[in-house]
Amino acid sequence: MDAEFITCRSWGHSWKPHTVTQIGRRYVVRIICMRCECIRSELLSLDGQRQRHNSYSYPQGYLVPGGGLGSVEGRQRVRSQLLANLLANMEVEVLPE
């Protein structure tokens, strides 16, 4: 799995505004992850009420069919891979216990 995908799955997405589209008296607000480019869409009324549940558009390779990443064990595997990536690419400060 791509390093950006692992980071987002471990720590969450890093959102920024992307687009706003007006549909009658409602607005589709789209935000995009700065790391993995996942897009989240919300349909809102002008007073901020959600008109439906958020929807997501994931980049190619983000979803792992049957990968079990939503389980406790799956999340642990993702965190383990994130740590391995960090250890391979960063200087580690070692402190006594």
Distance of CA 11 to the CA centre of its chain: 8
In angstroms, the CA 89 to CA 38 distance is: 24
- Domains parsed from the chain with CATH numbers: 3-89 (3.30.67)
Nearest-CA neighbor of 40 among 71, 25, 62? 62
- The pLDDT value recorded for residue 94 is 96
Task: Give 88-97 pLDDT, tens digit per residue.
Answer: 999 999 999 9
What is the distance between the alpha carbons of residues 86 and 81, in angstroms, rounded to a whole number? 9
> Residue 77 to residues 9, 24, 29, 32: CA-CA distances in angstroms?
11, 45, 33, 25
pTM of the model: 0.82
